[in-house]
Chain A
C-alpha cells in the first residue's frame, strides 16, 4: 500500500538546510496497523506529511497504492488525498462552525457526492463511531474524545485506502485515548490500513507493528507481540 525507498527531505533554515529524513525505506502492506514512534524532531511528523501528500519529498521514491508520487501539482495531490487518504490530527481540526454531521460530510462534498447521499453516509460513519445522537452538535459542544471520534468518522467517510493519524491521542486523557485506539483497531480489523504517529509507548503497543525513528533514520521495525486481549 505504501512503499518508500531512500526518502530524503530537508527544510531550509535561513541559508542552511535542516536534513530531517535521511534515506528512509519503509513498506506498509494493505491492512496493516502500524505505529511510527520517535521523539520530537525525529522526523516522524515530516514522514507522515509526505505520506499524506501534505508535503513533498526531495529525493527517493514514494509509491502510494502502487502509484509513483512525483511532481504532483496541488490539484492532483488534493484529488489523491481525497481518494486514498483519511486524516486524524492531534488537534482534531474540525471546522468550528460546522456541526458533527457537516464535518464528516465535508470530504464527501469534495469528492462530488450529492447532498442527500452525503448526509446519509456521514450519519452512517457517525453511528459507527457511536456519535449518531451528537450529529447536530458543534465541535465546541463535544468533549475531546468525541471530537476525535468525529474526526475519525470524517477520515473514514470517503472510504480511503489508508488512515493517517498524527498523535491522535495527544490531546486526550488515558481512558479516552484507549477508547480512541480501540476504535482505530476496530477499523483496522475491518481491513483498513492504519498508520499512527505517536511518542507514547503504550499507544504504540496497541498497534501491530512499531517503526522507530531517530534523527531521520529508522532504528527499528518490529512486530508487536500481541497479548491476548480478549
Chain B
C-alpha cells in the first residue's frame, strides 16, 4: 500500500505548486478554524447558562408563607400564615409518591464567632434530606443525620467558605463554633455547586433549631424535590395541586398569590431547556453552514486544480501513466493536503479558544471549547468532500484522450 515512489512524486508536486497547495489548504484550514471557533463560542454560551442554573437540584420546590392579601371565608386580609409541623406531615401523607426528598426548614441569621474571627451567616435547621436538595457535597466529616435530629444534637455542617472565613487554612472539624452565644460542634464541611453564597450556609438539625429559636412547632419554609420520573408538565401540575391544598388547609383565597408562595424549579428548568434547545439548533445550524461553505470552497478549488492540470495529465498519459495512477495521484494529493491543513485549522482553533477563553467570560461565554470528536468529524467530512470533489474531475481528466489533453492550452 505504502509506495515511497508515489509519495515522493506527490510531495514534489505539492511543494512545487505552492499556490495550489496553499489555496486548497487554506480553504480547509479556514473552514475548520471557523467551525471550531463558532462551535466553541456557542458551547461557551451554553456553559454560561448551565452554570447560571446549576446549584440546586433541578427538580426542587421551595414553599414559603407570607401574609394574605385577600379576605376569605370571613377572615381578614393581612393575616400572617404560619407553617407548622403538621403541614409537613400533611404534605408527606398526601403526596407520598410524588415527593423524593423533603425537609422542613428554619432559617435564622446568626453571628458566628470562632476565637478572634466572626461573621454573620444564615443558619438553617434541616432534615438530612436537605443535602441532596441543595446538591451539597460533603468534603469532610458528614451531614446532619437522623440520630442528630432525634437527639436534638447541637451539631452543624458548615459551608466551605464559612470554614475559610473563620478558620483560615485550619480544619474546622470537631471545633466548637459560637452562634449567637450558643456553642455548636462542627461535624462536617461541604461544598455546593451553587457557588460562594451557597457555601456560606450553616446547617443544624431541624429539631435543634426549632427547639432553640421557635417558641413551639413553627416552620419557616419547606424544601422538597419531586419524583424525578415526573415530566416537567406533571411536576408543574403536582406543585399546583400542592399549592391549592395548602391554601385550602390554611383558609386562603385560591387567587391569593402572596400568602403561600411555591417556587418550582421545573418552571425555570423548562424555560432553560427550551432555550438550550434553541441554542443547540442555532449552533448546529452555524456549524453545518460553515461546513457546507467549506465543502463548496474545496470543491471549486479541486475542480479548478484538475482543470489546470489537464495538460500535465495528458503528458503523463502519453508517457505511460494509467488512468488509475492519475486518479490515485490527484486523490492522494488532495487527501494529504486537506487532512494536514484541516488538522492545523483544528489546532489553531482549539488553541485560540483556549487563549481567548478567559477574556470572553464577561461576554457570557464560559469555557468555550469543542468536543474533539465534533471537530475531528468535521475535518473528516471536509477531507471526504475534497476527495469526492477532486475525484469526479480527476476521473474525467484521466478518461479524456491524451491528445485532447495535450492540445489544452
Interface membership of B8, Cβ < 8 A:
yes
Interface residues of A in 176-208 (CB under 8 A from B): none
- Among the listed stretches A26-34, A93-101, A121-129, which one makes contact with chain B, having 4 or more residues with CB under 8 Å of it? A93-101
A75 contacts B316, C-beta separation under 8 Å: no
- Residues of chain A within 8 A (CB-CB) of B323 are 74-75, 78
Interface string of A37-65 (1 = CB under 8 A from B): 00000000000010010110000000000
A74 contacts B403, C-beta separation under 8 Å: no
Q: What is the minimal beta-carbon distance from A54 to any residue of chain B, in angstroms? A: 4
Interface membership of B93, Cβ < 8 A:
no
Interface string of B382-409 (1 = CB under 8 A from A): 0000000000000000110111001000
Known: A97-B16, A109-B5, A115-B8. A49 touches B403 (CB 8 A): yes
Q: Which of B314, B319, B398 contacts A106 (CB 8 A)?
A: B319
Q: What is the minimal beta-carbon distance from A90 to any residue of chain B, in angstroms? A: 10
- Cα distance A54–B312 in the bound complex, in angstroms: 15
- Residues of chain B within 8 A (CB-CB) of A89 are 406
How many A residues are at the interface, by size bracket? 20 to 34
- Residues of chain A within 8 A (CB-CB) of B180 are none
Residue of B with least CB distance to A160: B320
Interface membership of B263, Cβ < 8 A:
no
25 contacts between A and B (CB under 8 A): A49-B403, A54-B318, A55-B403, A74-B398, A74-B399, A78-B323, A81-B320, A82-B319, A82-B320, A93-B314, A93-B315, A93-B318, A93-B406, A94-B315, A97-B12, A102-B12, A106-B316, A106-B319, A110-B316, A110-B322, A114-B5, A115-B4, A115-B5, A115-B8, A154-B319
Q: With A75-B323, A110-B316 given, can you name 19 additional A-B contacts, CB distance below 8 Å?
A: A49-B403, A54-B401, A54-B402, A78-B320, A78-B321, A78-B322, A81-B317, A87-B319, A93-B314, A93-B315, A95-B315, A95-B316, A97-B16, A97-B17, A98-B12, A106-B319, A107-B320, A110-B322, A115-B8
Give B residues with C-beta under 8 Å from A. 4-5, 8-9, 12-13, 16-17, 311-312, 314-325, 398-399, 401-403, 406
